[in-house]
A and B are shown apart, each in its own frame.
Chain A
Amino acid sequence: MQIGVDVGGTNTDGVIMSDGKVLVSDKKVTTANVGDGVFNVIKSVLDKGKISSDKITSVMVGTTHFTNALVERKKLQKIAAIRLCLPASDSLIQMIGWPEDLVSTLNPQKFFAKGGYEVDGREISPLDPDEINKIIDEIGTKDIESIAVNSVYSPLNSEMEERAAELISKKLPNVKISLSHAIGKVGLIERENATIINAALSKLAEDIIEAFETALKNLNIKAPLYISQNDGTLMRPEKVKSYPVLTFACGPTNSMRGAAFLSGLEESIIVDIGGTTSDIGYIKQGFPRQSAVATDVGGVRTNFRMPDIVSIGLGGGSIVRENGNKIGPDSVGYLLTEKAKVFGGDTLTATDIAVAKYNLDIGDPGLLKGLENDTIDNSKKQITKLLEDAIDKMKTSVEEVPAIFVGGGTIINKEKVKGVSELIIPDNFAVANAVGAALGQVSGEVDRVFHYSKLGRDKTIEQASEEAKQKAKEAGAVEKSIEIIEINENPLAYLPGKSVRLQIKAIGDLENI
């Protein structure tokens, strides 16, 4: 049996799953010490299901805590950033274009040093240990606990970053080190930004992981803990301590994966309706389609993997105005149970409309007396239109596809909308994100430039696929479950030898599932 937990900004959701079924689920309030919320929800589902803690084989947690810390500029560390690049790629300083308040919070020390690679793998210049040691000595005199290291073309070759890390560890054994190759893809500035964010989160990562581990210990759960990554696969706590930034955007990913699982569909539109916003995404082979463009996190441009989603200001708490002709984008949010009319409040919300329209047993429907049929009809039309427009953006063809509706705000729409072949609201729709966390698989990836002229296309892809599978196995995947789910070929213009950047990803199930 696995436990899946989703730690959101407002609620912490939990489920226990066994043999591909949800046995029991619950929601608790997210606490200031996130470990307490996790403890509460796990205790509750164990009690509700009358399940003994030694029956649990693994615990998977998805959390938006790190994203929120960055957005709120809280609990961030002072950092140093070293770029291995000289004499090239020094024309933009680190953290250029960042919001000023974030830069002043991090108070970064910035360094350039010799190193880095060319696109064809040659060194721009060799790493100079003396130069790096001098930089380390200077960092040692400042009050810095975390260092980001980024070398030009590190996604093609990580060696120099690793050598720099060794030198740092020797002189400053207690300083945390974030290496860019493990975080981002080609695109020096975006990758560096993500690496610096990661460095700033490293202390928080230790605290959070400790809080989760303490919660499990107090519940007497000895099963291993896994944390969700942004692509729906899992990491061990040790890796999260080093690479917390990889958890960014795991929330929408988990809810999409959970929705796919609960509905049994592999390819579909997913609509996750919360209290304030709806996220609309697309799953293919059970995994969310990834965004192709650079993504902003807390005002910083990055290039790491994010699900391709459209967010609209429509949720259960969306405020209804102008006789139903305007819905949202503002919402009463977590105050729904105080402010909405069915709960005795004075604000007309999308939830009130749903209660009136579908005769739902929520709050006190009697409080909606005097609500005009006109208002209900107009509101419903607006809700449908908002959903239809957003769904249309995510579709790649005019053909109708099924749509799965999940999330706590799902009640506001029960009808099939235009462009959708079938509307599916699965059981346990309100805890789809925790289900998604519990479903996490482990992955292995290869992302490098290959030259097809050496071995030919087929042989090259075959070898790279084997490498990805091997990495998945090292991450804990059961060998027979490993499969390749993604092969992206990006030809590199102007380069000789039929150069192609190959991105291959293998995933597999964890043991014990």
Chain B
Amino acid sequence: MEKLSLDNLEDFLRGTAFLGTGGGGDPYVGGLMLRQELEKGVDCKLIKGSEVDDNDLIVPIAVMGAPTVIVERLPNATSCIKALRKMEELMGRKATALIGAEAGGINGTLPFILSSYTGLPVIDADGMGRAFPELQMCTFGVYGVNCSPVIVRDEKDNEIIVNAENNLASEQFARVICMQMGTKSEIALYPMTGKQMKDTSVHHTCTLAYEIGKSIREARDTGKSPLNGIIDYFKTSFDKRYCKLLFEGKVTDLLRESTDGWAKGTVKLTSLTDSSKEMTVELQNEFLIAKVDDKPVAMVPDLICLVDLETAEPITAEAVKYGQRVHVIGVSVPDNMRTKQALDTFGPVPFKVYDKYIPIEEIS
């Protein structure tokens, strides 16, 4: 993908929902914001990470908050641009390109919304390769970029700069401020050089999102199974991901609870062909671990995606409902999301869902 325009928007949005692995905030709102700008006739330029000069300033941006709040308190582009400008002021120079902190969900659309306002190109990369709920769960930080300073701000021009001792502390202080702002803030964080961006990002994730969305649509258009569209796509995709159908089933139980400030839950699925076979998917904003008959078949950070059985439209955790018939798809993540440092930050152990990480391709 070289640019985002009205022509490829729907495919891209479908892909960001897929990469959201159930979370990342309602892509509907971000999609509408983006459409509203693109309809004015602008295209957003997408560049490769390698095209950026090593010494350039790169500033990731995001909207922080609860997905349930963002549907009332909409993300604000102007506030986000002001966060970017503040970061430039602190760093003493201008950013030359935009990059998203999170490729999945609503934050996947945000860099493009800003691009339509500022004319800055968007880098085809991000810091999560999917969606995660906290600021420290980011490859930028895993590989040494400091999350602070974090500019946390809102539409009223309340603007707080967090300088914390480490990335987890940055998350914790920023979260308190975010709540005070109404549980929705625009943030700029992880300021870095072009070189750092190249070394620490998950690359090509915008193109990946677009191509996932496109593979689903093209399969539908040609009468092929959209599920096979996705699986075939990953066989030939540019970064060679392992992709597998984990389960075909129907939602038979749904447990949601609030623990330690998280929206946690379990989705129970029963196989469509063998009613004694069950899958459980545990979620904490995103889908974290999928088990068949109590044995894990895929776990975080690998992607676990629920898609509609017939259309392969990705389903967010909030939209999961009883009786829904779904395919559960597992996709491997790039190597830099699977190192020890990465797994210590956003693997199954810190999420407390399993005692060690088993890559999806190693599970039979």
Chain A interface residues (CB < 8 Å from chain B): 87-93, 96-97, 118-120, 122, 124-125, 152-153, 186-189, 282, 289, 291-294, 301, 308, 392-398, 490-496, 498, 500-501
Contact = CB atoms under 8 A, between A and B. Distances in A.
Shortest 10 CB-CB contacts between residues of A and residues of B: A491-B258, A292-B321, A118-B182, A493-B263, A398-B275, A87-B155, A396-B322, A494-B66, A89-B74, A187-B71
A362 B313 CA distance: 44
Contacts of B69: 119, 492
Nearest to B265: A491
Contact of A88 (B28, B155, B270, B285): B155
B33 A493 contact: no
Contact of B35 (A96, A308, A395): A96
A492 B258 contact: yes
Given A87-B155, A397-B252, A492-B258, A189 B285 contact: no
Contacts of A289: 322
Given A87-B155, A292-B319, A398-B275, A92 B36 contact: yes
Interface string B315-342: 0000101110100000000000000000
Given A186-B72, A397-B270, A494-B183, A87 B156 contact: yes
Nearest to B133: A493
Contact of A398 (B28, B178, B270, B321): B270
B154 A88 contact: yes
B262 interface: yes
Interface residues of B, number: 44
B71 A308 contact: no
Interface string B222-265: 00000000000000000000000000001111001110011100
A142 to B, nearest CB: 24
A492 B68 contact: yes
A501 B263 CA distance: 12
A88 B261 contact: no
Given A97-B35, A491-B258, A188 B182 contact: no
Nearest to B71: A187
A152 B69 CA distance: 10
Contacts of B73: 88-89, 118-119, 152
Interface string B47-69: 00000000000000000011111
Interface in B153-169: 154-156
A91 B33 contact: yes
Contacts of B214: none
15 contacts: A88-B182, A91-B33, A92-B29, A189-B28, A282-B323, A292-B319, A308-B321, A393-B323, A395-B250, A395-B323, A396-B251, A493-B263, A494-B175, A495-B183, A495-B261
A475 B192 CA distance: 61
Given A91-B74, A500-B258, A493 B285 contact: yes
A124 B319 CA distance: 28
Contact of B321 (A119, A293, A493): A293
Contacts of B322: 289, 396
Contacts of A120: 182-183
A91 B323 contact: no
B75 interface: yes
Query: Which of B65, B250, B253, B270 is packed against the most chain A CB atoms within 10 Å?
Result: B250
B67 A491 contact: no
Given A97-B35, A491-B258, A495-B183, 16 more contacts: A88-B154, A91-B33, A91-B74, A91-B77, A119-B183, A125-B156, A152-B72, A186-B72, A188-B71, A188-B74, A292-B321, A293-B319, A393-B325, A395-B323, A396-B252, A491-B257
A513 to B, nearest CB: 32
B63 to A, nearest CB: 11
Interface of A is mostly: loop
B32 interface: yes
Nearest to A89: B74
Nearest to A124: B182
B179 A493 contact: no
B193 interface: no
B258 to A, nearest CB: 3
B26 to A, nearest CB: 9
Contacts of B28: 189, 294, 301
Contact of B262 (A89, A96, A394, A493): A493
B76 interface: yes
Contacts of B77: 91
A493 B270 contact: no
B72 A96 contact: no
Contacts of A494: 65-66, 175, 178-179, 183, 261
Contact of B323 (A96, A394, A495): A394
Nearest to A303: B71
Contacts of A292: 319, 321
Nearest to B276: A398
Given A398-B270, A398-B275, A91 B75 contact: yes
B36 A189 contact: no
A187 B28 CA distance: 11
B36 A93 contact: yes
A380 B224 CA distance: 28
Interface in B26-41: 28-29, 32-33, 35-36
Nearest to B68: A492
Contacts of A392: 250
Contacts of A189: 28-29, 32, 71
Given A293-B321, A397-B270, A496 B275 contact: no
Interface in B176-210: 178-179, 182-183
Nearest to B262: A493
A96 B74 contact: no
A199 to B, nearest CB: 20
A177 B98 CA distance: 44
A489 to B, nearest CB: 8
Given A97-B35, A396-B252, A493 B74 contact: no
B264 to A, nearest CB: 8
Of B66, B67, B251, chain A has the most CB atoms within 10 Å of the CB of B66
Nearest to A289: B322
Contacts of A118: 73, 182-183
Nearest to A282: B323
Contact of B261 (A153, A395, A396, A493): A493
A183 B28 CA distance: 21
Nearest to B284: A493
A91 B76 contact: yes
Contacts of A396: 251-253, 322-323
Nearest to A491: B258
A322 to B, nearest CB: 18
Contacts of B32: 92, 96-97, 189
Contact of B72 (A97, A125, A187): A187
A153 B71 CA distance: 10
A393 B251 CA distance: 10
A124 B76 CA distance: 14
A456 B143 CA distance: 44
